[in-house]
Amino acid sequence: MDCTDSPTATQSVPRGALLRWLLAYGTFSVPQAAGPIVYALLAIPLTGDPGNGAAIVLTITLAQVAGAVPVARLGRGSNAVSYLKVLVGIRFLALVAVAMAAAMGAPFAVLLAASALAGLVNGAAFGYLRSVLNYLVAPSHMPRALGMAATLSEFTFVAAPVAASLLGTVDPVLALVVLSVLGTAPMVLVANIAHAKAPARVDGGGRLLTPAILLWLACTVANSAVVSAIEIGAVSLAMNYGFPPAMGFIFTVALCVASVAGGVWVSVRNRMPARAMVLIYLGVMTTGAALVALQASVAVTIIGAVLVGGVLAPLGTYYSLRLDALSPPHRKPELFALARTANAIGVIVTSASLTLTSLSVTLAVAAALMMVATVVVGVVSWVGQTERGRVP
């Protein structure tokens, strides 16, 4: 079933529901965007090492990978909005438990256990949040809506760490609670939609991991690896160029500003790109990743970050639309949760590489993954042109 044939968005929805959904999408990721800074600040009084905050981030990410599809599957027979709100509520309670444990000076293992619960439901919550959009927007307007969502998400990932730093200097526990409260906004913002329920299973159409779906999930992993390599390695990049660690923001800001611009362009254009254009986007991201990996100069690295950021929203929008079209109708939340998991896997790959090797190796690995993804999509597209019906 193609997303262009979906009847769900043609049914009546509450006035202003799309605007509320966009705001919910933007605020949903506040805890994740602020997490690395908040958890590092929480770890200092408990362990004396801010680096232990990364253990909380890793725990959340691994739990998200493990729980995304199973937790999403549990809500298959429920109203998508209602189940989304339950999952967001569970995430909030788990994060509050992390804050309380830190305030009480509990063993660090307690914080890890509570954070694991937050991660366990996070991927599925995102899957249901994304699936709700299908009930709010006609397929012809989906690229615009996803472009706007990508723009708001980038603003979140720029603003949330700043807010975390400011609040964290006052009290890290207070910072986590406040930012976790902001993350519950979808519970209030997402409009109730009575018909937001997956259709019954259709025999013969229930496969979730087809070759076509795996292709775009793999591309998502590659994209995430490139972006996270720049974001996580920003401080190290700055130091390699002889700048103080705080100057690492110049690379992440370049990436984020370009990504916001890309999201605006997608929204204005409001069109699903042709496969040839997607290959160009992939080529641009590969080139940007390679320029960053070269570490030739500050200017070259910033140009590489801008190239990566500029095509991030167009590619992310395309992946989302393709996955929507390829997904069995009754398993869309699960597939969107899986897409979130693919994004998390890219972060894990980068984090592991940085831990076990070096920044140069990590940047090279990310660029190589992007190059492989580009080549595979090119080959599949070429085969599809010569043998109709095989293009994912």
DSSP-derived 3-state class of residue 19: helix
CATH of the domain at 174: 1.20.1250
- Across 251-264, average pLDDT: 89
Same domain? 152 vs 17? yes
Same domain? 101 vs 233? no
Same domain? 180 vs 251? no
Return d(Cα 36, Cα 23) in angstroms, integer: 23
> Which residues, other chains included, contact 155 with Cβ-Cβ below 8 Å and sequence gap of 6+?
26, 260
Q: What is the pLDDT of residue 165?
A: 81
CA proximity to 196, closest of 350, 355, 7: 7
Phi/psi region, residue 327 (left: phi>0; alpha: psi -120 to 50; beta: rest), is: beta
**Other Cβ atoms closer than 10 A to 368:** 16
Q: Between vectors from CA 87 to CA 85 and to CA 89, what angle results, nearest 5°?
A: 70
Q: What is the pLDDT of residue 303?
A: 97
Q: What is the pLDDT of residue 293?
A: 96
| Residue 200 pLDDT grade (very low, low, confident, very high; cuts 50, 70, 90) | low
Return d(Cα 125, Cα 385) in angstroms, integer: 37
Domain annotation covers residue 392: yes
Same domain? 277 vs 142? no
**N-term to C-term CA, the chain:** 13
| Residue 327 pLDDT grade (very low, low, confident, very high; cuts 50, 70, 90) | confident
Instruction: Say whether pLDDT at 209 is over 50.
Output: yes
DSSP-derived 3-state class of residue 386: helix
Domain annotation covers residue 200: no
Instruction: Say whether pLDDT at 108 is over 60.
Output: yes
- Across 367-384, average pLDDT: 92
Domain annotation covers residue 101: yes
- pTM of this structure: 0.84
Same domain? 171 vs 282? no
**Other Cβ atoms closer than 10 A to 191:** 19
Of 8-12, 48-52, 236-240, 328-332, which range is least confident?
8-12
Same domain? 96 vs 222? no
Same domain? 182 vs 225? no
Give 277-304 as a DSSP string.
Answer: HHHHHHHHHHHHHHHHHHT--HHHHHHH
Q: What is the pLDDT of residue 392?
A: 54
- Across 42-63, average pLDDT: 83
Q: Is 303 exposed, middle or buried (0-12, 13-18, 19+ CB in 10 A)?
A: middle
Q: Is 305 exposed, middle or buried (0-12, 13-18, 19+ CB in 10 A)?
A: buried
Domain annotation covers residue 198: no
Return d(Cα 292, Cα 128) in angstroms, integer: 35
Domain annotation covers residue 193: no
Same domain? 35 vs 183? yes
Same domain? 166 vs 58? yes
Look up residue 184 and give its DSSP letter: T
Instruction: Say whether pLDDT at 202 is over 70.
Output: no
Residue with tokens 């708001």: 152
Please identify, among 187, 218, 247, the residue that sits at the C-terminal boundary of a domain: 187
Q: What percent of the chain has pLDDT over 90?
A: 51
Please identify, among 187, 215, 246, the residue that sits at the C-terminal boundary of a domain: 187
Domain annotation covers residue 379: yes
Instruction: Say whether pLDDT at 4 is over 60.
Output: no
Return d(Cα 99, Cα 103) in angstroms, integer: 6
| Residue 10 pLDDT grade (very low, low, confident, very high; cuts 50, 70, 90) | very low
Q: Are 125 and 88 in contact (CB under 8 A)?
A: yes
Q: What's the whole-number average pLDDT of the chain?
A: 87
Instruction: Say whether pLDDT at 1 is over 90.
Output: no
Q: What is the pLDDT of residue 177?
A: 94
Q: Which domain holds residue 138?
A: 1-6+13-187
Of 12-16, 123-127, 177-181, which range is least confident?
12-16
Domain annotation covers residue 194: no
CATH of the domain at 345: 1.20.1250.20
Q: What are the distances in angstroms from CA 359 to CA 227, 241, 355, 362?
A: 13, 13, 9, 5
Instruction: Say whether pLDDT at 7 is over 80.
Output: no
Could you tell me which residue, 8 or 360, shows the higher pLDDT?
360
Same domain? 129 vs 248? no
What total of structural domains would you count in the chain?
A: 2
Q: What are the start-end ranges of the E strands in 133-257? A: none
Same domain? 240 vs 93? no
Please identify, among 187, 221, 251, the residue that sits at the C-terminal boundary of a domain: 187
Q: What is the pLDDT of residue 3?
A: 41
| Residue 53 pLDDT grade (very low, low, confident, very high; cuts 50, 70, 90) | confident
Instruction: Say whether pLDDT at 323 is over 80.
Output: yes
Could you tell me which residue, 145 or 36, shows the higher pLDDT?
145
Q: What is the pLDDT of residue 371?
A: 97
Could you tell me which residue, 161 or 11, shows the higher pLDDT?
161
Look up residue 274 and give its DSSP letter: P
Same domain? 251 vs 391? yes
| Residue 386 pLDDT grade (very low, low, confident, very high; cuts 50, 70, 90) | low
Q: What is the pLDDT of residue 2?
A: 39
Q: What is the pLDDT of residue 6?
A: 45
Could you tell me which residue, 12 or 179, shows the higher pLDDT?
179
CA proximity to 262, closest of 284, 279, 295: 284
| Token duo for residue 5 | 């044939």
